[in-house]
Structure 1
Amino acid sequence: MRTYDDIKVGDKDFVKKVVTEADVADFARISTDNNPVHLDEEYAKTTPFKSRIAHGMFSAGLISAVLGTKLPGYGTIYLSQDLKFRAPVYLGDELTAYVEVVEKIDAKKRLRMRTWVENQKGNVVTEGEAMVMFNV
């Protein structure tokens, strides 16, 4: 297990996930966000996206997965997250969520992290910045 002192500015990690029909249905059920752009293909065809899209917060959840399991990892406390949704995420897209340490705040064992999610084409779909507390 990594210690706070092991982590350096510039450290980076990621997770990958293909967005499935079941993922979108489960996210809608759990979040209670039943917007038809996520769940109804006929409705989604009438939108600028022309097809169903995943919830924006689905991609943000992948950022949380990196922070909680990879970098910094287990015991991380998520304090804040700023997000910008740059592009739609379609069912079948393969997403890669990245985090990168941009600042260490030693007095409180906090890390400022650059966060972003790319699709399989390398397009950034979500980006932002997180603050986490290292708790191990």
Structure 2
Amino acid sequence: MTKPFYYEDYTIGAKRTTLGRTITETDIVLHAGQTGDFYPHHMDQEWCKTQPFKQRMAHGTLIFSVGVGMTAGDINPEAMSYGYDKLRFIHPVFIGDTLHVNVTIQEKRAHPKRPQQGIVVEHVEMVNQEEQVVLACDHLLLVNKTPVSEEK
């Protein structure tokens, strides 16, 4: 576990990048089984050959969940996910694509009902091996403010 990171410790414009992860056929099959989404875009190789992309593509929800997992490497006991805004699937992801995630601290704002906490907005972009953005969203973190007893 890393050092606690309070609301005041976040800097707008700060960036981090994850390591890569390659999407496999197994990922797609498991996700289809977990969600019940067996649409031919994901599961029917022959049908996909008749479509514009000519191959199966990963579920958007699969890519989103993989990206969330890729960004969750450091545990901050002073923060928790408050949700996601503006989620977009920008470019399809295919079997064999390798993705990484770029995260930028975009905004900090007071919580309207919790004065001891603030909201930190991380802009998240998943990028493939060709540097194409495949997914973008804003991740809202609910972050504790520095307790008065610990202020510098």
Q: Per the shorter chain, which TM-score range?
A: 0.7 to 0.9
Amino acid at match of 1:119: N
Aligned counterpart, 1:12? 15
SS of aligned partner of 1:116: strand
Equivalent runs, 1:54-73 vs 2, <5 Å: 54-70=58-74, 73=76
Match of 2:139 among 115, 130, 133: 130
Q: Structure 1 residue 19: deviation in Å? A: 0.3
Aligned counterpart, 1:34? 38
Instruction: Please report the TM-score for the alignment, with normalisation by the length of structure 2.
Output: 0.77
Query: Residues 14 and 31 (structure 1 numbering): CA distance in 2 closer, same or farther, change over 3 Å?
Result: farther
Aligned residues: 135
Equivalent runs, 1:26-105 vs 2, <5 Å: 26-70=30-74, 73=76, 76-105=80-109
Structure 1: which 5+ runs fail to align?
none
Q: Structure 1 residue 79: deviation in Å? A: 1.8
Query: Residues 76 and 13 (structure 1 numbering): CA distance in 2 closer, same or farther, change over 3 Å?
Result: farther
Identity of aligned residues (%): 28
**How big is each residue's C-alpha offset from its partner over 1:67-111, in whole Å with a ceiling of 9 and x where there is no partner?**
4334x7565224223212211101000011222111122543211
Q: Decide whether the 8 Å contact of 2:5 with 2:76 is kept in 1.
A: no
Q: Which runs of 4+ in 1 moved over 4 A?
A: 72-75
Aligned counterpart, 1:116? 125
Match of 2:5 among 3, 19, 23: 3
SS of aligned partner of 2:41: helix
Q: Decide whether the 8 Å contact of 1:66 with 1:73 is kept in 2.
A: no
Aligned counterpart, 1:22? 26
Instruction: Please report the TM-score for the alignment, with normalisation by the length of structure 1.
Output: 0.85
Alpha carbon RMSD of aligned pairs, Å? 2.2
Larger Rg: 2
Amino acid at match of 2:67: I
Which whole-Å CA distance do the structure 1 matches of 2:70 and 2:10 have between them? Answer: 15
Q: Decide whether the 8 Å contact of 2:107 with 2:121 is kept in 1.
A: yes
**How big is each residue's C-alpha offset from its partner over 1:8-28, in whole Å with a ceiling of 9 and x where there is no partner?**
212222332100111111111
Which whole-Å CA distance do the structure 2 matches of 1:114 and 1:11 have between them? Answer: 11
